[in-house]
Structure 1
Amino acid sequence: MKIGIIHYRSTLSESVVDLLRAASEENVEAEYVRVQGLDSYIVDGKISVKYHNRELDISGAVLRGVGVFMSLEVFMKRIGVLEALSKTVPVVNDPIASVTARDKWRSLLALASAGLPVPNTLVTENPFTAMRYVEQAKRAVLKPITGSLGLGSTLVDDPDVAFQLTKGLSSMGIPSYYQVFLEKPGFDFRLFVVGDRVVAGMKRVVEGKWKTNVAQGARGVKVDESEYPEAFKLAVEATKTLKLDYAGVDIALDRTTNKLFILEVNAFPQWHGLKQATGVDPSRDIIRLLKDKIKK
């Protein structure tokens, strides 16, 4: 059995190294594949995918990323080629499901449509709409619609600031994604789902800050399902709703309502902080999941 680990970087990320090692431990041959080197063909109705002009001889693949700061055309090409690959071998996560999860608005739309709890959220290009939203919400977080690691997220409590921010973004062809600010109790959850279970979970604890990303300085503290069963259940339900095989699910407890809300579902989650906090490396679970899909 041979699999591909698909990413876009010229150097191996920590998660890719972990997956390559896990594959070796599972007696699976693995090849690092850069997504920009993939091409797809339709010849006489038959679909094929090549890597640097050679046949990509793999039984399945783990998708770790498609790139950043690319044109819409390049993005659509890469997703299209990966979709072609997924029609010939199992790919985790599914490329189309990954696109939905990468788009914060579309993923929350799917979760809300399934009846799962998500924060009050607005997506708009209209600065007047943004102004009225912040005026009503009092405090909201402006997030990049496809960002991660908490980078670019801004707390907005002034309607005029919201107006100016959205006006400036719209002038550059960028939509605004506002989410009502939740009064967290100094932490939120990152739960890592593989298949139908949470394989590792942590609280992301902060003091004096509103951002709880580990990349932004939060401290990870291991949690078990027995402590927070509802959060663990929500994480699995969110992953299934978005048709993902594995995901990092961010869930927050709102002190005002004492309710849990799903903030984001990441189809390309990093796990460095999770490993440090819990001692769990989810890469082996991902490889085992892919092996099971290939055998089916």
Structure 2
Amino acid sequence: MRIAVVDYKKEPRKGSLELLDSISRHGHEAVYLKTPMLDATVSRSGVKVYYSTEEVRVDAAILRGLGFITSLEALVKRIGVLEALASLIPVVNDPSRSLVARDKWRCLLHLHLKGLPVPETLVTENPFTAMRYVREKQLVVYKPLMGSLGLGSTLIHDPDLAFNVTRGLMNIGQPSYYQVFLDKPGYDYRVFVVGGRVIGAMKRVNPYSWKTNVAQGAGGVAVKESEEPEVYELGLKAVEALGLDYAGVDVAYDKATGGYYILEVNAFPQWEGLRSATGVNPPDHIVEYVVEKARK
């Protein structure tokens, strides 16, 4: 079986390399495809996808990234070509559903509409709306609408700062995304789901910062389902609600309300921290799931 890993870098990133290695170790042929190099045609003979001049002939694909896209047209093209590929073979995760997860606002909206708990959140292009929101909520987290690893996330308690942030972003055509700060007990959770099953979960602890991303210095501690059944359940429900094949789900407990909330769902998750904490190797689980799906 030929299985492709699709990512946007010229050379495979670490996660993509590990997937390619796992594909080979499972006895299959591994192929790397760079997202911008994919094209598609539709004609009387049907849909065809090309990598440069060669027609793509693989049995399944694992999508790992869309890239940093500077125009709406480029984003639409990449999603459209990947949808063409998904019409021919299993693509994990589905490109359109991956795009929803990548957009923090649409992700939370979908989860909320499915009845799942998410933090109070605002998306806006209006500086006055941002200012009023921070004045009302008192402490919020500004997050890039599309981003990961906790990069760019900033605590804001000053309404004037929110005004200036949103006005600056508005001037370059960018919206603002604000989320009410949760009073976490110094940690939150990452739940890793593959094929409708939690393969591992960890508590992410950072005694030096409010950010609990492993990339921001947090340490991971394995968590069993018997210890945190609600965290496991929310992870599964979030991935199901978004229609993803695999994902990393971030869940936090808020001391102020006594409830658990889904912060984000990452359709292109990293796994080094989870592997170190739990001993679970997600690439193997993803590849085994993709092989099983391709054979059906």
Instruction: Normalising by structure 1, report the TM-score.
Output: 0.98
Who is 2:100 aligned against? Answer: 100
Unaligned runs of 5+ in 2: none
Who is 1:221 aligned against? Answer: 221
Aligned length: 296
* Structure 1 residue 214, shift from structure 2 partner: 0.7
Partner of 1:239, secondary structure, is helix
Who is 1:270 aligned against? Answer: 270
* Structure 1 residue 45, shift from structure 2 partner: 5.8
Moved more, 280-289 or 83-92: 280-289
**Is 2:247 the partner of 1:247?**
yes
Counterpart-to-counterpart distance in 2, 1:168 and 1:13: 32
Counterpart-to-counterpart distance in 2, 1:46 and 1:12: 30
Unaligned runs of 5+ in 1: none
Who is 1:134 aligned against? Answer: 134
- The amino acid that maps onto 1:162 is A
After TM superposition, list the pairs within 5 Å mapping 1:177-256 onto structure 2: 177-256=177-256
Partner of 2:89, secondary structure, is coil
Partner of 2:192, secondary structure, is strand
Counterpart-to-counterpart distance in 2, 1:201 and 1:232: 8
Instruction: Normalising by structure 2, report the TM-score.
Output: 0.98
Counterpart-to-counterpart distance in 2, 1:22 and 1:226: 30
* Structure 1 residue 69, shift from structure 2 partner: 4.2
Who is 1:56 aligned against? Answer: 56
Counterpart-to-counterpart distance in 2, 1:14 and 1:272: 10
- The amino acid that maps onto 2:153 is S
**Is 2:15 the partner of 1:15?**
yes
Counterpart-to-counterpart distance in 1, 2:258 and 2:224: 20
Moved more, 163-172 or 175-184: 163-172
After TM superposition, where is structure 1 displaced by more than 3 Å over at least 4 residues in a row? Answer: none
Counterpart-to-counterpart distance in 2, 1:196 and 1:162: 39
* Structure 1 residue 208, shift from structure 2 partner: 3.4
- The amino acid that maps onto 1:20 is L
Counterpart-to-counterpart distance in 2, 1:51 and 1:208: 46
Counterpart-to-counterpart distance in 2, 1:82 and 1:166: 33
* Structure 1 residue 36, shift from structure 2 partner: 1.3
**Is 2:114 the partner of 1:114?**
yes
Who is 2:44 aligned against? Answer: 44
Counterpart-to-counterpart distance in 1, 2:222 and 2:240: 23
Counterpart-to-counterpart distance in 2, 1:173 and 1:36: 24
Who is 1:283 aligned against? Answer: 283
Moved more, 143-152 or 9-18: 9-18
Identity of aligned residues (%): 54
